């Protein structure tokens, strides 16, 4: 599609990019269809361009990204009106006013533009239940701070690229190579962390990324058993109702509930496995697991394969504690984590595509062996 705009000349757009306003922009009733135009050299500013009126365009910013401490609570009925599943499904923009005196540039924090990014429904919503945000919020200080942050982020880009190159460069390993290296399948032990319903299927902390781990962990577990690996252990969250962990995370995996159960796809392996409940991120807080690890090492385990979730939480805590224990006792034992068998959850404040490789990179720097997959 092509629109001949007054400000930008001819603009091509896809019909799938069009935003459909359910509640129109105040003072501009009758105009319901818009597209967002963004250009890298104009960050953080963008334009909300009317599809129906080529001369109508608003300067907008992502206020949550630019304005300090701007965390608007969108009324649940407005979220539902947009057909959104929750606050994480919406993005928020604010209309900017640029006067002749650029020092007085401002934006409207009181009436944000809210967009359901899943279906492109949008509305301008008046936050009438708070006095915290102004209709005319002067932006000069926030823009100065944003500029400093932008320069800082540029300095970080090189490191982020390095982390992603690390992940992209991971190589697979053949199980035949592990058998040769450790001389016997019985010298290899598998640890499966938190592959329970409360993270994979249902509950406040369930995630589709965790659910997607089920198949690769199933395939790996089946292969290891078929190759002669004997020792498999499940390390599962199991909290009492007043667990201190609920001060940091929503209640989850309460003992005796379905959330604590191993997912059906892996439950078949539990009959020949050890199962260790844990009331914290770190499995070593269960003394029985500590004893189990020492027993395995004494009986000849020379490699622990670690799988499950979340990479930056339970996987990281367990892997680092295990590695430090092995180092302190000078035990000649490796820890291997297959990249395709670990992951973390994703949200606006917790980018899984960055955090997952970042924590594996850090584990690699501490001597944990990270491989693409075990074939």
Q: What local confidence, expressed as pLDDT, does residue 248 receive?
A: 93
Nearest CA among 135, 164, 166 for reference residue 369: 166
pLDDT tens by residue, 284-338: 999 999 999 999 999 999 999 999 999 999 999 999 999 999 999 999 999 999 9
Rounded average pLDDT over 93-121: 93
> 188 and 229 in contact (C-beta within 8 Å)?
yes
pLDDT for position 3: 86
Q: When comparing pLDDT for 159 and 239, which is higher?
A: 239
**Which of helix, strand or coil describes residue 96?**
strand
Measure the CA–CA gap between 163 and 264, rounded to whole angstroms: 34
**Each residue of 170-219: pLDDT tens digit?**
999 999 999 999 999 999 999 999 999 999 999 999 999 999 999 999 99
Per CATH, 2-139 and 169-371 having the same topology is answered: no
Tell me the C-alpha distance between 64 and 211, whole Å: 30
List 106's β-bridge partners, or say none.
Answer: 97, 138
Q: What is the CATH number of domain 169-371?
A: 3.40.50.850
Q: How many CB atoms lie within 10 A of CB 180?
A: 9
Geometric angle at alpha carbon 199, from 229 and 293, rounded to 5°: 35
d(CA 17, CA 33): 10
pLDDT for residue 152 is more than 70: no
E strands, 171-216, in order: 188-193
pLDDT value at position 341? 98
> What's residue 84's pLDDT?
87
25: which DSSP letter? P
User: Is residue 150 pLDDT above 90, yes or no?
Assistant: no
Tell me the domain boundaries of the chain: 2-139, 169-371
Asked if residue 175 lies in contact with residue 374, where contact means CB atoms within 8 angstroms, the answer is yes
The answer to whether 172 and 222 have CB atoms below 8 angstroms apart is no
Structure tokens at 157: 């880009």
DSSP 108-128: -SSS-EEEETTTTEEEE---T
To the question of pTM greater than 0.95 for the whole model, the response is no
Portion of the chain with pLDDT greater than 70, in percent: 98
Please state, for a pLDDT cut of 90, what percent of the chain lies above it. 73
Q: Please give the pLDDT value at position 30.
A: 87
pLDDT for residue 275 is more than 80: yes
87 has a pLDDT exceeding 80: no
Give the span between the Cα atoms of 156 and 158, in whole angstroms: 6
**37-53 confidence digits (pLDDT tens):** 988 778 889 999 999 99
DSSP H stretches of helix in 234-285: 264-267
- The strand ranges marked E within the chain are 2-5, 9-12, 19-23, 33-38, 46-50, 57-61, 90-97, 106-107, 113-116, 121-124, 137-138, 188-193, 231-237, 274-278, 303-309, 334-338, 342-343, 369-371
- pLDDT tens, position by position, 108-121: 999 999 999 889 99
Q: Which fold has domain 2-139?
A: BH3618-like (2.30.290)
Is residue 312 within 8 Å of 344, Cβ to Cβ?
A: yes
- Determine phi and psi for 139, rounding to 5 degrees: -100, -5
């Amino acid at each position: 599609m092509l629109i001949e705009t007054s400000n930008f000349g001819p603009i091509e757009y896809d019909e799938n990019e069009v935003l459909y306003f359910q509640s129109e922009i105040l003072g501009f009733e009758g105009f319901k269809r818009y597209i967002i135009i963004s250009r890298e050299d104009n960050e953080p500013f963008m334009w909300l361009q009317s599809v129906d009126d080529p001369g109508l365009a608003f300067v907008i910013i992502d206020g949550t990204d630019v304005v300090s401490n701007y965390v608007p609570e969108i009324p649940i009925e407005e979220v539902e009106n947009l057909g959104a599943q929750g606050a994480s499904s919406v993005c928020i923009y604010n209309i900017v006013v640029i006067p002749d005196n650029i020092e007085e540039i401002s934006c409207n924090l009181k009436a944000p533009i809210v967009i359901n990014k899943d279906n492109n429904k949008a509305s301008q919503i008046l936050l009438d239940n708070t006095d915290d945000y102004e209709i005319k919020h002067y932006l000069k200080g926030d823009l100065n701070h944003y500029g400093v942050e932008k320069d800082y982020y540029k300095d970080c880009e090189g490191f982020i690229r390095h982390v992603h190159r690390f992940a992209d460069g991971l190589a697979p390993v053949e199980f035949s190579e592990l058998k040769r290296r450790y001389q016997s399948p019985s010298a290899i032990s598998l640890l499966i962390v938190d592959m329970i319903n409360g993270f994979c299927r249902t509950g406040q902390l369930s995630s589709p990324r965790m659910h997607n781990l089920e198949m690769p962990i199933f395939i790996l577990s089946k292969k290891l058993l078929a190759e002669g690996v004997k020792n498999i252990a499940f390390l599962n969250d199991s909290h009492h109702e007043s667990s201190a962990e609920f001060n940091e995370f929503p209640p989850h995996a309460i003992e005796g509930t379905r959330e604590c159960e191993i997912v059906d796809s892996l439950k078949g392996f539990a009959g020949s496995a050890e199962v260790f409940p844990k009331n914290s991120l770190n499995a070593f807080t269960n003394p029985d697991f500590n004893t189990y690890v020492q027993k395995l090492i004494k009986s000849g385990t020379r490699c622990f394969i670690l799988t499950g979730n979340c990479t930056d939480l339970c996987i990281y805590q367990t892997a680092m504690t295990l590695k430090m224990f092995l180092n302190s006792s000078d035990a000649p034992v490796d820890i291997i984590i297959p990249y395709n068998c670990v992951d973390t959850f994703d949200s606006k404040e917790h980018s899984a595509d960055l955090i997952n490789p970042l924590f594996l990179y850090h584990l690699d720097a501490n001597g944990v062996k990270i491989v693409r997959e075990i074939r």
